[in-house]
Amino acid sequence: MNKVIIAPSLLAADFRNLEREFEKINSSGAEWIHFDVMDGLNVPNISFGFPLLDATRKLTNKYIDVHLMIENPSKYFEEFKKYGADGLTIHFENQPNIKEQLQTIKSLGMKAGLVINPDTDVAVLEPYLSELDLILIMSVFPGFGGQKFIDATYDRVKQARKLIEDSRRCIILQVDGGVSLNNSHALICAGADALVCGSALFKADNFEGYVLKLQDNI
Ligand code: DX5
Ligand code: ZN
């Protein structure tokens, strides 16, 4: 089994002490930073955008994994690239031209991801497998950090893993929402290879140690 990618979700960081939060992230074994962009239209919350992405790029060398929860995301792909995004993940729900959007993300030199909400059928992913670097299975309804993990996610991860295996493609399978040590091991066993973790990780007394435990390393 490959090492699991841990992506601390910046939404849960202490914004009064951002530099210190980045020191914690940078000195941990977390490979990615998860960057949630919400516009108040696509989800019932507003988070952050380009100025923070610009600062994030300057504060870390880690892979910046951008999760777009915004209307008309393709309008902004180039700007996300300019400010330092390494990968962009778009929602399947209410989107036109998904294939073209994924191709554009890749043509700009970023990894392309597709995310589905907890009530979207996993099978909808199938037509897009050839364009995908990453599949994200939401384990909460998007919009807020700190929500309760939905248990039906385990079966959905297994289903998505099977789709990936059957396609013989190299696609990262990520889970986002309510991830903690209460479910990380089971998620990895179900086939997840990247875990987003916000509240549980930033609240932990030992950030670095929590990352290791999430990776099933200790
Ligand atoms: C929810 C976001 C998640 C969130 C995860 O809409 O997409 O990335 O920040 O945070 P926790 O781990 O607190 O659920
Ligand atoms: Zn997210």
pLDDT digits over 147-166, tens only?
999 999 999 999 999 999 99
Return the residue whose CA atom lies nearest to atom 7 of ligand 1: 142
Q: Quick one: average pLDDT of 97-104? A: 98
Neighbours of ion ligand 2 (CB under 5 A): 36, 67, 176
Distances (CA, A) of 132 to 31, 91, 157: 20, 13, 16
The residues spanned by each domain of the chain are 5-216
Say yes or no to pLDDT of 81 above 70.
yes
100 pLDDT band (50/70/90 cuts)? very high
Ligand located closest to 8 CA: 1
Q: Per residue in 110-146, pLDDT tens?
A: 999 999 999 999 999 999 999 999 999 999 999 999 9
Which pLDDT value is given to residue 3?
Answer: 86
Round to whole Å and give the CA distance between 214 and 1: 14
- Residues forming the active site: 36, 176
Q: Report the CATH superfamily, name and number, of domain 5-216.
A: Aldolase class I (3.20.20.70)
Report CA(187)–ligand 2 centroid distance (Å): 16
Q: What is the pTM of this model?
A: 0.98
CA of 12 to the centre of ligand 1 (A): 8
d(CA 63, CA 109): 13
pLDDT of residue 161: 98
Ligand nearest to the CA of 43: 1
Per-residue pLDDT, averaged over 66-75, amounts to 98
- DSSP code, position 39: B
Name the residue of 21, 134, 140 to mutate for ligand 1: max ligand atoms within 8 A of Cβ: 140
pLDDT recorded at residue 216: 85
Taking each continuous run of H as one helix and of E as one strand, the counts in the chain are 8, 8
Residue of minimum CA distance from atom 4 in ligand 1: 145
Looking up tokens 């190299």 gives 170
Taking the C-alpha atoms of residue 77 and residue 46, their distance in angstroms, rounded to an integer, is 18
pLDDT in tens, 203-214: 999 999 999 999
**Whole-number mean pLDDT of the chain?**
97
Taking the centre of ligand 2 as the mean of its atom positions, its distance from the CA of residue 43, in whole angstroms, is 12
Distance from Cα 40 to the centre of ligand 2, integer Å:
14
Q: Is 170's pLDDT higher than 80?
A: yes
Structure confidence at residue 164 (pLDDT): 98
Mean pLDDT, rounded, for 182-209: 97
Q: Say yes or no to pLDDT of 2 above 90.
A: no
pLDDT value for 1: 58
Looking at the predicted structure, is the pLDDT value of residue 13 above 80? yes
Could you give the percent of the chain with pLDDT greater than 70? 98
Percent of the chain past pLDDT 90, that is, above it, reads: 96
Answer yes or no: are the C-beta atoms of 88 and 105 closer than 8 Å: yes
Question: What per-residue confidence (pLDDT) applies to 217?
Answer: 66
Contacts of 161 (CB under 8 A, 6+ apart): 173, 190, 191, 192
Q: What is residue 58's predicted lDDT score, i.e. its pLDDT?
A: 97
The enclosing H or E element of 160 equals helix 153-167
Counting from 1 in the atom list of ligand 1, the atom nearest the Cα of 199 is 13
Percentages of the chain per state (helix, strand, coil), in multiples of 5:
40, 20, 35
